[in-house]
Chain A
Amino acid sequence: MSLRSFPGGIHPDDMKHLSRNRKIEPVPMPEKLIIPMSQHIGAPAKCIVKKGDRVRRGQKIGEAEGFVSVPVHASASGEVTAVGEAMHPFGKMLMSVTIKPDESGDTVEGWGVERPWEELSRDELKTLVREAGIVGLGGATFPTHVKLSPPPDKHINTLVINAAECEPYLTSDYRLMMEKTHELLSGIRILKKILDVEECRIGIESNKKDCFEILEKEIQAQGLAGITPILLEVKYPQGAEIQLIYALTGREVPSGKLPMDAGVVVQNAGTAIAVSEAVERNIPLTERVVTVTGSTVGTPGNYLVPFGTPLKHLLDVARADLEKTGKIIFGGPMMGMAQAFLDVPVIKGTSGVLLQALDETIKDSTYSSCLRCGKCVEICPMWLMPTRFGSLSRTGRFQECEEAGLFDCKECGSCTFVCPSHIPLTHFIKLAKFRVLEEKRRQKS
């Protein structure tokens, strides 16, 4: 069978063998949870508890502010010991609620109560998704209910489920799909109902063929119509929305537009499972599966982690050797963020924690001149000329970067990965975007 894909892209070693066969395992509750009010793209939630309050698991502690925002829930029962700024994985101090978990394990009323959803209206379902605090769990953390609310003039006819998991090392989606196949399919049915679409395609990279087969079998057993798993070539960034849509539907999302402009809504497989739990069992999003992996991790695996769990706790559970570790990354090695502090919490977007040994870490930040080899141009999944952005951005010509399609770049990192001169092209592109936006804000005010 021929595998679908997109033009361009790179083939890094997938390194998934470290954790792919480790079943999802809950971590013991840490001594404290630091839960940021900002775990999603959009306005941070507004804190509605104060120091000294007792909270139950699943209780709302932050209320959504505006449409592009979601509420935040307590990940454990316990006492609020602090409300204030704390170090966030984004490298800033942000408003957070610190909870000291207790032994009671009390949950909020209605937690886990089964709910027949077939009778509910689309708007009621959407409200449930929002109230459960669900965001895109692939890492982008865009509020899911917003994606499920296309304006009336956009005609959506295909739901795409992103099960590509193209970042090397990460296996959390894979494990979830293997262990929660049933929930995945219910989640998809709920999403299909909300969007009122007949067709759903699930894109899975061919290094997860067992998962593809299980899904096919389960779909057949349940007699579900309009849900098709499709095998994709193992290639990075196969799971980037625009590339995934092209591979699965042949449609090109117009430059500067959204997937819905191509009639598609993309949801991550983990998100679909979260939707199923929220709608069918009334369980809000308070924990996620995090792949903890890398060469200095003693027991790499896929851990079920309550939001707010400090990184240090998770690393102790996974028996990480910090002496030999050079870099700790939240997310995958291609797009993840390097962390400087061990007290940052796991949040909704933390798909993985990757530890690189000192000798694996890229330490040398020097680079040589561009050879014009054209490798970055050849592999750019957006068909841009990264080398041009590099030289323009380096010399401060940010305006010209924008004209050359700067904002079409999704910062997947492929160009930096292949550059023989080791030019940090992605970094220069981020810098240019930052400067252009800064200039626009300045002109506005």
Chain B
Amino acid sequence: MKKLIVSSAPHIHCGETVQGIMLDVLVALAPATLAGVYFFGLKALMLYTVCIAVCVVTEWLYQRICGFKITIKDLSAIVTGLLLAMVLPPQTPWWVAAIGGFVSIFVAKQVFGGIGYNIFNPALVGRAFLLASWPVYLTSWSEPAKLMSGNWFSLTDAVSTATPLTLAKNGEYTTKLADLFFGNVGGCVGETSAIALLLGAAYLFYRGHISWHIPLPYVGTVALLTWVMGENGVFTGHPLFHVLAGGLILGAFFMATDMVTSPVTGRGKVIFGIGAGILVVLIRKFGGYPEGVCYSILLMNAAVPLIDRLCIARRFGEVRA
């Protein structure tokens, strides 16, 4: 008879894997990814391809050179690449996007030790790096292109426009809420269609990969503060506009919820969400940029170890003095 396998209990597993989670995230991002292609044409497709390819190749090369275990099969590099492309303006040149992908994986992820060890959300580090390095590319926006039009097929031509948030910065809340909801506005490739993003977020909820603890306080805080801090006095703001415009939905449901860079406990997650919400409003209202989602999440990422330390829960049966 062959030998019996002996190992420590438990002897069964729920079957979930890192790869499975990442695959679910990719499925959840699919509607918004397609919406990006629909609204911004082949330019969007090109950005997705470049970012994903550079991220995966960077990870593979780095691990190959260092002699580490190759982890590209866990799909996390693809998620990072896709998310990075989604937070870039459609007209971003391919080589800028490629540098962003390299920074995301090399600087933000692998240097810290790879998946699980990074402090900051890799895709957002990539974006922040590009915004600091090539501000003009990262703040030039194009109008959504008509499906199958010349613009839709072109990789360079675009009708430039201002984003709803740039207009709002000047006090012009002219963008229709319906356009914001469906995504027919200027903005980053994957952030404009709230409905497509929410569809994906619902899937992640259903699969148990995200909980309400971060997105709800995050979005709620933004809505509350923008409503209270209106242009014409208290309670005259445009909460719905601020929730739907810019990258808040994408950030709140897909980036702030990144497991690696958010707190572990439920209470910690709520603090994280509220903090990020406050930062978004501060940046949008008083900062130099019209949008603040990227920095709000990165700043809160830095606070995660502190939050985790503060939020160690009472143990069952523990009597606290």
Contacts and interface: CB of A to CB of B under 8 A. Distances in A.
B9 interface: yes
B264 A383 contact: no
A430 B9 CA distance: 10
A335 B313 CA distance: 25
Interface string A334-347: 11111110000000
A197 interface: no
Interface string B4-19: 1111111111101110
B11 A336 contact: yes
Given A420-B18, A422-B13, A365 B265 contact: no
A430 B260 contact: no
Interface string A414-445: 10111011101011001000000000000000
Interface in A231-251: 242, 246
Nearest to B313: A383
Give the secondary structure class of B's interface.
Answer: loop
B14 A382 contact: no
A256 B20 CA distance: 38
A420 B11 contact: no
Interface in B200-224: 209
A368 B116 contact: yes
A29 to B, nearest CB: 24
B312 A385 contact: yes
Contacts of B8: 338, 424, 426-427, 430
B11 A373 contact: no
A255 interface: yes
Interface in B1-58: 1-14, 16-18, 20-21
Nearest to A430: B8
B12 A168 contact: yes
Contact of B14 (A331, A338, A418): A418
A414 B18 CA distance: 18
A333 interface: yes
B127 to A, nearest CB: 22
Given A374-B259, A378-B266, A338 B6 contact: yes
Contacts, number: 154
Nearest to A327: B5
A218 interface: no
Contacts of B6: 91, 327, 338-340
A333 B11 contact: yes
A354 B10 CA distance: 12
**Chain B interface residue count: which class?**
35 or more
A51 B169 CA distance: 95
A178 interface: no
Interface stretch (A73-81, A106-114, A274-282, A318-326): A318-326
B117 A383 contact: no
Contact of B319 (A10, A255, A427): A255
Nearest to A409: B315
A149 to B, nearest CB: 23
Given A252-B316, A372-B116, A417 B10 contact: yes
A408 B315 contact: yes
Contacts of B2: 323
Contacts of B264: 372, 374, 377, 385, 387
A329 interface: yes
The 6 closest A-B pairs by CB, nearest first: A369-B116, A413-B10, A427-B8, A373-B259, A255-B317, A374-B264
5 contacts: A255-B318, A363-B5, A371-B116, A372-B260, A377-B264
Interface of B: 1-14, 16-18, 20-21, 71, 74, 113-117, 209, 259-266, 269, 312-319
